[in-house]
Amino acid sequence: MAKTISKVAKEIGINIETVRFYQRKGLINQPIKPAQGYRHYPEETVNRIRFIKRSQELGFTLSEIESLLVLNDSPCSQVQQLATQKLIAIQKKQADLQLLEQALIEHLNQCKSNKDDSHCPIIDALLP
């Protein structure tokens, strides 16, 4: 059953402007406005918006999501290639965050054992 933009937005838990933004970006089609009344979005469009939101939650950019939507009718290997690239990027971010975590732990430990109240090892580590 087709729904108005406000019902679509409420159902998915997004702002009406988000739906309009997706239309402007070409991620979803804007239904034709009848002579009287409101545009009605088919369930296919609602599901497409859900796909976009879920992909964003997984860390895909709108550009990457657009590629995924284009690849919808493509061989799985092309989709797999894009997903593999995203996985590699996520793994690199995780490694960087783990290094940052270790550095912060070290600085916090130095701070805890610091007997000189006139300087802070954390601040010292951040100075050039």
Cα 122–Cα 124–Cα 128 angle in degrees, nearest 5: 125
- Residue 105: per-residue pLDDT: 93
**CATH code for the domain of 49:** 1.10.1660.10
**For position 52, what pLDDT does the model report?**
96
Is the per-residue pLDDT at 27 higher than 90? yes
User: Does the predicted TM-score (pTM) go above 0.75?
Assistant: no
* pLDDT for position 115: 83
Residue 28 sits in the same domain as residue 38: yes
Q: Which pair of tokens denotes residue 87?
A: 């996985």
Q: For residue 12, what are the domain limits?
A: 1-73
The pLDDT score that the predictor gives to residue 121 is 80
The chain-wide mean pLDDT, for the chain, equals 90
- Residue 61 to residues 43, 48, 65, 115: CA-CA distances in angstroms? 23, 15, 6, 47
Reported as a pLDDT band with limits 50, 70 and 90, residue 65 is: very high
